[in-house]
Structure 1
């Protein structure tokens, strides 16, 4: 006796699978590719590799992978005071920077996620320094970078106008995940707000202000 063969049944993805971080991340990158915001395989690979949701654990995973800003901190009256930039804008900035393996990069305006993307682009032979004037922001960035395996990124608590003239990267100066009080010469004031950033120039020599300068490092077990 032979068993009759009915129509082949395929199991659609479950709701849980559709909401898994990796699935949401790849779907977001597919959207950025279709919109033309991602143009190179290197930027695509970075966006597919770095877990954006790990840098915004206070929001639902779906919110972290929406193509919009991801709020990470609010004022007492409910206004957004800190956020991760929208993925489309980060893709545009990374493509515009044309970063390559071995580049040394200074990011002004920390948050962690964008620094991790830059670390993917410059590789093990490159160097990434991310700076912010707010110690709460740099503490947060340090924790999340360490937790996601990007502990080679150097995190500084500093006023970007007063960075040491030696020992910090000069290859690129970028605006990162949040508005900084001083953006330097790399981008105009629209660079973090949704308009296309202009190509960065080399930062001028600046004087050292040690009281604003502190390096954050991962805690070793």
Structure 2
């Protein structure tokens, strides 16, 4: 009599959570990380860094902050945050805003570095050789330092012109224009643009001790 073939035992099935879409699915593969749908659609697994242990973990929904182990240890869901973690994220966001602000300012300054201020003229050789031209170049070459002001004091120029020359230089320097660009400008034309721009009424001092950048950051973080 022919020997009956033994039946193969049924495959063991495992209930898994797909790391790509987050849906539960059954599979006979014990190490399966994706469901058949995600495999067929070639949907990749997105990873995030755990805010608690810095380990990489699958984040199918995109709003997870903690890996499964850390979330279980903390007694919260993966998308939830402890009060301490909220403070950490808030501090990181504040720092990121400051860095972005600095990057924007640096970009603007770089753009101005070699740019000629609008509405200005270049200095002619005749003005360059005059007392005003020499005084202007001394201001620029020494970036308005005390030594350049001492030299300016000795120039045969009236006091009002000296003051207007310094104000014209300082105003453009504070706007971020580079010294190389300022050295090419006509100081006489610059002073003509500064008419009626001198300070006449001094503003009242509301806070004699303004906060430092560190204190401003702490105020924004609610630490003060």
Rg larger for: 2
TM-score, length basis structure 1: 0.21
Which fold has the larger relative contact order, with Cα–Cα distance below 8 Å and residues 6 or more apart in sequence? Answer: 1
Q: Higher strand share goes to which structure?
A: 1
Q: Higher helix share goes to which structure?
A: 2
TM-score, length basis structure 2: 0.21
